[in-house]
Structure 1
Amino acid sequence: MAKAPQSLHRARKAVGEALNPQGLTLVACSGGADSLALAAAAAWHHRRTTGPLADAKVGGVVVDHHLHPDSVEVSGRTVSQLKSLGLGPVRIYSADVDPESSLGPEAAARTGRYQAFRQAMTELGATRILLAHTADDQAEQVLLGLARGSGTRSLAGIPPARGPFRRPMLHLTRADTEAICRHHDLDWWEDPANSDPRYLRSKVRTQVLPYLERELTTSFRESLIRTAQIAAADADYLENQAKEVFPTLLEDPDPAGALRLKLKPLRAQPPAIRRRVLALAVAAAGGANPSFERLSAVEKLVTGSRSAGPVELAGYVTVHRGARGTSDYGKLVVVPPSG
C-alpha cells in the first residue's frame, strides 16, 4: 500500500478523540468520499487492541432515503465496504422522507435521517454517532447562515459536537477525504443531488462559492471557516452568560406553568443577552426556538412597546406584559401551550 496521506493521520487523531472509549460508536456512512474516509479512520481504532481506546468499538449505519433509483445498490455496496474495513455491527436503516413536506426536500431528508440515526443508536446500543461533515460543508453552512441573516449562532456553522453526534472531520477538506479513500482503495459514490442546482446547498457548492472565490479571493472559503470559529466562541460565551442571568430574572412559575420575568432588570440587560434570555424562557415554556422576527416582537414588549401583547410564537407559546393594577405588573409572562 502506498504511503498514507498526511490527512489520514490527522483524521485518525481527530476520530480517536471523538470515539466513546468504553462502548460502541457508529459511523454514519452514505457511501460518499467524506463518510467512507471517516469510516476508514475509525476502523483503524476499531482494530487496535492496546492503548486508551482498546475497548472502543465502531460500527456503521447506512441510511437509505429511497430518493435515488440506485439507492438500494448504493447502500449495499456501502455496507460491503464498511465490513471490509472491519466495522461491526453495520446496518441499513430507511429514512421516511415526505417529498411534499413544507420543510422542503433537504430539511425533510435531514429530519428522516436523524430519526434513523436515533433508531440505530437504540437498537444497536450505541452512545455516539460520527458524522462526516468537512471544512467545505462548514464554509457552505456559514454562507447559508449569512444569507439567512440569522445571527451569531448561525454564523458559527456546524458544531463539532451536539448531544450524541460528533463531527471530527471539520478540519479536513473534500480533497483530503478523497485522498484517504484512494489510499484505502475505497470506491465512493457521487450523489447527483450534490451537484443539482435545484437544491440550495448544491447551488452554493457548485455556483455561489466558486464565483465568490473567483471574483473576490481564492481564500474566501478559508475566511468563512475562520468566521465560524470566531462566531462559535462568541456565541458560546453569550449563551453561557444568558444562562447565568436567566434564573436571576425568573420568578416561581404558577401551577399552570407560566413563567414570569422581572421586566426592569431584563430591560437593563445588553440586547445580545436579553434576546438570549427571552429565547431560553420560550424554550423553558415548551416552545420552539423563535425566529428573529418573533423574538424581536417579544423584545419590544420589554423595551417599551405600547402594545402589551400577546405575541404568539411557534409551539403555541404566547408572551405578554403584565397589565397595570394586576399582580403581573412589571413582569413579562411567558405562557406555555394549553392542554
Structure 2
Amino acid sequence: MPRLHPAVAAVRSAVRTALAGLPPGSLVLVACSGGADSLALADGCAWEAPRAGLRAGLVTVDHGLQAGSDRQAARVADWARDTGLTPVEVSRVEVDVRRGGPEAAARTARYAALEDARKRHAAAAVLLAHTLDDQAETVLLALARGGGPHGLAGMPARRGRLVRPLLAVSRSETEAACAARELPVWRDPHNDDTGYTRVRARRAMPLLTEALGERVVANLARTASLVADDNAVLQELADDLLERAIDAGAPGEPAAVVLADAPKALRSRAIRLWLRRAGVTGELNHRHLAAVAALVTDWRGQRPGRVPGGRRVGRTAGRLWIDPPS
C-alpha cells in the first residue's frame, strides 16, 4: 500500500481534529475558492467527514470582481460534486467596494453568503481554509497598523460556527497536498495584485524570513495564540466590569465612575464590548475607543463623539449613552 504523502496526512489530521465533537450525522460546509488552501481543505474534509459520521458539502462564493469568476465558481462546484460533496452551492454576491475598500467589502459579502448558506442548510459548521501563513500575515498587518491585542490575537480557530482547521498547517503543505492528490488548483490573479494590503504583506514574508530566520512565520502565528489566551482572561474581567458599570448606571448606560476606576486595559475592552452589544458594526479603531474613553476619564462637558455607522456616543448624568440604530 503506497505511503500517504506527509502533507496530505497533515491536512487530514487537522480536519479530523476540527471535526471532533460535532453531532453525528450533522453537515459541515467547506468554503472553497479553488485555490490550494481551500481545495486541500475540501479534499481533506471529503475524506474525513464520512469517517467521523458527518456529511460534507461545499460553498464557493463568486464575488464577480474579475472576468470569468462565474466559470471558475462553476469549475469548483463541478469538482466538488465529482468528489462526492453534497450539497454544493455557488453563491453569487454583490460587492460594494465603496464601503471599506475592496478587500473589506469582499470579505463582508463573503461571510454574509457563508452564514446564509449555513442557516439554509442547517450546517453545524463552516470550514475556512486560513493557514499558518495567513495567521502570520494577520499578525504582521496588525503590528504595521499599530493594532492592540485584539489584532495581534489573529484569527481564532473557532468563532461561533466558523472553524479554521488549518491554522497550524503551512501554505507549502496545502500546495504539496494538492500536488500529491493531483487536485485542479486555481491561482487567483488577485494574489499577485499589490494593490491589496495582504498581498504586500505576503511578499514581505520571504524578506523577514531571510533577515530573521526560518521560524519567523511560525513564531508570528504562535504570538497570535499566546495573545489570544491572554485576551480570553482579560475579556472575562472586562465582561464583569461592564456588568458592574451597568448595574451602577441604567439599562444599556454604564456608569462612568465605575469604568474610570478600572485599569485602562479593562476599561477599553469594556467600552468595546458595550459598543458591540449596542449594535455597532465595522472597525472600532483606537481613535473611536479613545474618544469614548475620554468621556469617562477626561470629562469636561464635551460634545458627543461618533463611532462606525455614524452613531453618537455621549455622557449625561454620569452615564454613557449611544444613539439607537437607525
Normalised to the residue count of structure 1, the TM-score between the two structures is 0.88
One of 117, 124, 135 as aligned partner of 1:138: 135
2:249–2:319 contact (8 Å) kept in structure 1 = no
Give the whole-Å Cα distance in 2 for the aligned partners of 1:220 and 1:338: 43
Match of 2:226 in 1: 230
Match of 1:271 in 2: 264
Give the drift of 1:126. Answer: 1.7
Give the drift of 1:134. Answer: 0.3
One of 296, 299, 305 as aligned partner of 1:311: 305
Q: Cα RMSD between the aligned structures? A: 2.1
Superposition map of 1:150-161 within 5 A: 150-161=147-158
In the alignment, residue 14 of structure 2 is paired with which amino acid?
Answer: A
Match of 1:334 in 2: 321
1:286 aligns with 2:282: no
- 1:65-90 deviations in Å (ceiling 9; x for gaps): 22222323322221222223221111
1:156–1:230 contact (8 Å) kept in structure 2 = yes
In the alignment, residue 284 of structure 1 is paired with which amino acid?
Answer: R
Give the whole-Å Cα distance in 2 for the aligned partners of 1:252 and 1:268: 13
Give the drift of 1:174. Answer: 1.0
Give the drift of 1:253. Answer: 7.2
One of 241, 245, 249 as aligned partner of 1:249: 245
2:95–2:109 contact (8 Å) kept in structure 1 = yes
Superposition map of 1:160-239 within 5 A: 160-206=157-203, 208-239=204-235
Gaps of 5+ in 1: 323-327
- 1:268-298 deviations in Å (ceiling 9; x for gaps): 2111001111122222333336321121112
In the alignment, residue 77 of structure 2 is paired with which amino acid?
Answer: V
Poorly superposed stretches of 4+, deviation over 6 Å = none
1:242–1:273 contact (8 Å) kept in structure 2 = yes
Secondary structure of the structure 2 residue equivalent to 1:113 = helix
2:248–2:258 contact (8 Å) kept in structure 1 = no
In the alignment, residue 260 of structure 1 is paired with which amino acid?
Answer: E
One of 37, 42, 49 as aligned partner of 2:40: 37
**Deviates further, 166-175 or 273-282:** 273-282
Give the whole-Å Cα distance in 2 for the aligned partners of 1:336 and 1:301: 15
Give the whole-Å Cα distance in 2 for the aligned partners of 1:297 and 1:164: 33
Match of 1:325 in 2: none
Total equivalences in the alignment: 322
Q: Structure 1 304/198 Cα, relative in aligned 2: closer, same or farther at 3 Å? A: closer
1:282–1:317 contact (8 Å) kept in structure 2 = no
**Deviates further, 78-87 or 235-244:** 78-87
Superposition map of 1:104-143 within 5 A: 104-143=101-140
In the alignment, residue 233 of structure 2 is paired with which amino acid?
Answer: Y
Identity %: 39
Q: Structure 1 77/314 Cα, relative in aligned 2: closer, same or farther at 3 Å? A: closer
Give the drift of 1:318. Answer: 3.2
Give the whole-Å Cα distance in 2 for the aligned partners of 1:211 and 1:199: 18
Give the whole-Å Cα distance in 2 for the aligned partners of 1:111 and 1:276: 23
Secondary structure of the structure 2 residue equivalent to 1:261 = coil
Give the whole-Å Cα distance in 2 for the aligned partners of 1:21 and 1:11: 21
Give the drift of 1:170. Answer: 0.5
In the alignment, residue 12 of structure 1 is paired with which amino acid?
Answer: R
Give the whole-Å Cα distance in 1 for the aligned partners of 2:233 and 2:42: 33
Give the whole-Å Cα distance in 1 for the aligned partners of 2:2 and 2:77: 25
One of 316, 321, 335 as aligned partner of 2:315: 321
2:248–2:254 contact (8 Å) kept in structure 1 = no
Give the drift of 1:173. Answer: 0.7
Secondary structure of the structure 1 residue equivalent to 2:89 = strand
Give the whole-Å Cα distance in 1 for the aligned partners of 2:119 and 2:171: 31
Give the drift of 1:155. Answer: 0.6
Give the whole-Å Cα distance in 2 for the aligned partners of 1:232 and 1:181: 31
2:279–2:325 contact (8 Å) kept in structure 1 = no
Match of 2:291 in 1: 297
- Larger Cα-atom Rg: 1
Secondary structure of the structure 2 residue equivalent to 1:3 = coil
Give the whole-Å Cα distance in 1 for the aligned partners of 2:220 and 2:131: 13
Give the drift of 1:239. Answer: 1.0
Normalised to the residue count of structure 2, the TM-score between the two structures is 0.91
